[in-house]
Amino acid sequence: MNLLPLLLYGAAAVAYALHFARRQAGIGRTATTLLMAAALVHTFVVAMQTMEVGHVPISNPSRAISTAVWLLSLSYLYLEITTNERAMGVFVLPIVVALQLIPTLNPGVENANPVLNSGWFFVHVASLLSAYASFALAGVLGLTYVLQFKEIKKKQLGYFYTRLPSLQILDAMNSRAVVVGWFCLTIGVVAGVVWAAQARAAFANDPNLQAMSLSDPKVFISIVTWAVYSFAMLSRWTMGWTGRRAAWLSASGFAIVLVNFIAVSYLLPTSHNF
């Protein structure tokens, strides 16, 4: 079920790469059309999985990644349509394809644990996935800012300078993505605390709930992520950390997100698995 979105995302990635290299409007429109088709098919997949299990598929790691990819593709499409700028697609789509490859190869089964039947749990996970999508965009914007800055600093206004938005636009877009992600992450953390407190009262012996503490890698890294992005916003507003510093903070924060979202979920059995 995840194969067709992956193939369409892959085709879109190729089209965005060609558009970035050749800067032809027709190729750019083709890239956007392919991405829209991929997002539409992915929406159908998410809807089918929702009907299958009775809720948005987010309690299994692989399906949560698929839902995060869907949110990232929609977020990028919104960014592209509102700014009329396609240059970022060549950087965003490889991330989309790489992440979508995981649920395609390992689709997983939705967790049927009754402890998850809570509105607070789904607010918790949906908010975190929305935050991760925003942080992915912020990370890409940060890296492209650095590429653009280095080219300008060397006074070699060539490949990237003629294709990427200005430094001011990249910095402003990065700032907005970080703010949106931080708010979603904060909501997700608060909802998670409320859900865990309620769930422990009803399912005291559940091993996943017992594993949830500051020593749980997922919990600890989530707090670190919140701290990094809180510092990114505070430093921008109070210390004037814009431009390169903000860009590197965004890229570093997204690297931490990937560690928590993928490496911890699949490689550390000591962490809770939903």
- Burial (CB count within 10 angstroms: exposed 0-12, middle 13-18, buried 19+), residue 269: exposed
CB neighbour list of residue 146: distance below 8 Å, 6 or more residues apart: 244, 247, 248, 251
Mean pLDDT of the region 123-135: 91
Sign of CA dihedral 188, 120, 258, 71: negative
Residue 164 DSSP class = S
Confidence class of residue 209 from pLDDT cuts 50, 70 and 90?
low
CB neighbour list of residue 207: distance below 8 Å, 6 or more residues apart: none
- pTM comes to 0.87
Confidence class of residue 120 from pLDDT cuts 50, 70 and 90?
confident
Q: How far is CA 226 from CA 5, 19, 64, 132, 220, in A?
A: 31, 36, 20, 11, 10
CA distance 30 to 182: 33
CA distance 218 to 220: 6
| Tokens of residue 195, six digits | 């859900």
pLDDT score, position 161: 74
Per-domain residue ranges of the chain:
1-112, 115-274
Helix (H/G/I), strand (E/B), else coil: 43: helix
6: left (phi over 0), alpha (psi -120 to 50) or beta: alpha
- Burial (CB count within 10 angstroms: exposed 0-12, middle 13-18, buried 19+), residue 18: middle
**Which residue, chain included where needed, has tokens 């979603």?**
184
pLDDT score, position 46: 86
Convert the pLDDT of each residue in 54-78 to its tens digit.
666 676 788 888 889 999 999 999 9
CA distance 177 to 140: 10
Confidence class of residue 215 from pLDDT cuts 50, 70 and 90?
confident
Residue 184 DSSP class = H
pLDDT score, position 273: 56
Q: How far apart are the first and last CA of the chain?
A: 22
Helix (H/G/I), strand (E/B), else coil: 226: helix
CB neighbour list of residue 222: distance below 8 Å, 6 or more residues apart: 128, 185, 189, 260
Confidence class of residue 48 from pLDDT cuts 50, 70 and 90?
confident
Q: Are 136 and 184 in contact (CB under 8 A)?
A: no
pLDDT surpassing 70 at residue 268: no
pLDDT surpassing 90 at residue 33: yes
CA distance 22 to 200: 57
Q: Are 100 and 5 in contact (CB under 8 A)?
A: yes
pLDDT surpassing 80 at residue 23: yes
pLDDT score, position 132: 93
